[in-house]
Amino acid sequence: MNASEAPQTLRWIGDSATGHLQMIDQTLLPNQLQWLDCRDVQTVWEAIRALRVRGAPAIGIAAAYGVCLGLQPLPMADPERFLVELDRVIDYLAGSRPTAVNLFWALRRLRHVGADVAARSAPSEWLPALLAEARTIHEEDRAMCHAIGRYGATLLADGAGVLTHCNAGGLATAEYGTALAVFFTAKDQGKRLHVFVDETRPLLQGARLTAWELMQREVPCTLICDSMAGQVMREGRVQAVITGADRIAANGDTANKIGTYSLAVLAQAHGIPFYVAAPTSTFDLSIDSGDQIPIEQRGAEEITAGFGRLTAPAGVPVYNPAFDVTPARYIHSIITERGLISPVDTQQIQAIVGSDQRG
């Protein structure tokens, strides 16, 4: 399967006035490939919160389209009311999840475009301009994913074993993914890889989503429990670890799905390079270090009754952070659409990412 044949995680159907967002409901994979029609902003908010759409870039894209849905019912005439409603919708969507910085980055872009068109354009142009910006964000992400893949593939030798965690593929982005884009591009170049996939507890994004994507694209893979990663490394089966990211601080500290930090420590202990693949939109240069990254806390039932089956004593106390932070010192390189950041430090990040993040 190539990129043109792969199902698109998100797509807008129709025009700005009456169109809607359609997305793959990722909570049903791999057993069902089912589309969810989002015709109002509340459905988009719920989809983000419930992980029907997940992955930092895809969350940002979905939120951008969600702004358009939120403003569709509004009569377009009064610029002051338009801006008030724009702020209301954006603030509402910003409350869906706290960690993935692409969400806030995309919403800032829509806010800026809305303010500009309200000041300069006729009311009939307001919604089309917002939809055009959402589509631009979508297309930019697609291009960034392919560029990340090209830079990252240079790091992998033919025949390498690689390990990844959670899902940083097409389901988490516009198309090719971030970490998985490296594997897909290497395969396109004729390199033979074998990917070890952490199942990624407690919601099994690796087992349900990454393994599914790799098999769809006929990339050889083996599914393992999270706790098996150290043994697989010890046996010499892994020559590189590549994960995605949900937020990267100015110093390179990186938040990603819970369990990523442990992998980075294990990789260092075994002399294996640990790479993070992420677009520049995932950097948050407003925070100095990972200590300032908000970590989402999720419901106890994800651990005690995952997928509807009770697996723990009723009433047991639960701690369920959705993300952890990997210190920059454990990261060999960050793979971006602009090139490799190595060493991972404030100076190198400034040189590659700069201060020109849109929004």
**Residues tagged active-site:** 246
- The secondary structure of residue 308, as a DSSP letter, is G
User: How far, in Å, CA of 331 to CA of 215, rounded?
Assistant: 28
User: How far, in Å, CA of 282 to CA of 359, rounded?
Assistant: 12
Q: Under the phi-then-psi rule, with left for phi > 0, alpha for psi from -120 to 50, and beta for the rest, what region is 261? A: alpha
User: How far, in Å, CA of 219 to CA of 183, rounded?
Assistant: 8
Q: Give yes or no for a contact between 74 and 130, defined as CB atoms under 8 angstroms apart.
A: no
Q: Give yes or no for a contact between 159 and 192, defined as CB atoms under 8 angstroms apart.
A: yes
Cross-strand partners of 196: 163, 222
Residue among 258, 231, 252 nearest 319 (CA): 258
